[in-house]
């Protein structure tokens, strides 16, 4: 995101922090960051260069810390690093860590991590988080992700790079979404979604290959064809998972995407949605 301070100068004049906002002197706020009206920034939090909080944004809490990198935009009413909604939480100091160039729209909530989950909820770089969306404690999200409005993530969800998710989806705790996956709107996900797959349904299952997404990302046609063949072997027929992997190694042209698929399946803890 490239933020132009002139777009809010009518509201704030030459000030970088609106006088109605409360910013702890113990917070680290870049001199180029902009904090709009009625925001609260708690002690220990960090706001990086050219990051813009619109209005009524809460950063951190009395027991949790938010760290935002450069050129992030946080929409009105969002709460970053609220305490985890976990009955095991006892007020330990934990975090939300947000990278650079993220767009977080209206009324989103990102809960801090728990000690048992590593202590941090993480959002990488160049992500679009649409409105009214909840990210639970200890989630780890990568880069170049699009998350549709009204979607809910339970704790400990992992989303790899370049994933696209439609609106009003729900994700059970501990599920993992592989890179370049596409999940249609109104899906409910209770198992791991294959990299490069297209998933839909309640509960969601992988129904095909995200060919268009791979083409747009610059993958070669031969690689896409090999990935597509591997996904078909995994999701169709009566083969066990180990039998399907043996077939993939025998029948699919070797490429990095096929190896990613095999590694993902072998490391899955909740099972593959197919």
Given 36, 69, 117, 138, which residue is catalytic?
138
Specify the 3-state DSSP secondary structure of 45: coil
Q: Please answer whether residues 59 and 80 qualify as being in contact, where contact means their C-beta atoms are separated by less than 8 angstroms.
A: yes
User: How many degrees, rounded to 5, is the angle at CA 18 between CA 112 and CA 67?
Assistant: 25
Cα 225 from Cα 248, distance rounded (Å): 12
Cα 109 from Cα 112, distance rounded (Å): 10
138 is catalytic: yes
Given 101, 137, 180, 228, which residue is catalytic?
137
Q: Are strands 103-104 and 140-141 parallel, antiparallel or unpaired?
A: unpaired
Helix-, strand-, coil-residue percentages of the chain, each rounded to 5: 20, 30, 50
155 is catalytic: yes
Given 69, 155, 178, 197, which residue is catalytic?
155
126 is catalytic: no
HSE value, Cβ hemisphere, 13 Å, CA-based, for 139: 28
Tell whether omega for the bond before 203 is within 30 degrees of 0, i.e. cis.
yes
Residues with catalytic function: 137-138, 155
């Amino acid at each position: 995101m490239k933020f132009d301070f002139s777009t809010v100068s009518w509201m704030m004049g030459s000030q970088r922090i609106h006088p109605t906002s409360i910013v702890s002197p113990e917070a680290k706020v870049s001199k180029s960051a902009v904090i709009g009206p009625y925001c609260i920034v708690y002690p220990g939090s960090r706001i990086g260069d050219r990051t813009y909080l619109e209005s009524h944004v809460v950063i951190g809490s009395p027991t949790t810390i938010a760290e935002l990198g450069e050129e992030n935009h946080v929409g009105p009413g969002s709460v970053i690093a609220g305490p985890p909604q976990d009955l095991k939480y006892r007020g330990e100091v934990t975090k939300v860590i947000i990278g650079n160039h993220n767009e977080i729209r209206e009324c989103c909530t990102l809960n801090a991590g728990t000690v048992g989950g590593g202590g941090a909820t993480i959002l990488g770089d160049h992500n679009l988080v649409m409105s009214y969306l909840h990210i639970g404690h200890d989630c780890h999200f990568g880069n170049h992700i699009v998350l549709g409005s009204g979607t809910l993530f339970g704790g400990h969800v992992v989303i790899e790079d370049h994933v696209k998710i439609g609106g009003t989806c729900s994700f059970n705790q501990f599920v993992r979404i592989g890179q370049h996956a596409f999940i249609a709107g109104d899906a409910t996900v209770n198992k791991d979604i294959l990299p490069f797959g297209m998933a839909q349904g309640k509960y969601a299952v992988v129904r095909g290959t995200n060919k268009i997404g791979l083409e747009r990302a610059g993958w070669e046609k031969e690689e896409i064809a090999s990935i597509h063949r591997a996904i078909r072997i995994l999701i169709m027929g009566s083969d066990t998972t180990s039998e399907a992997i043996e077939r993939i190694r025998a029948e699919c042209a070797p490429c990095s995407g096929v190896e990613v698929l095999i590694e993902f399946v072998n490391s899955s803890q909740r099972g593959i949605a197919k």
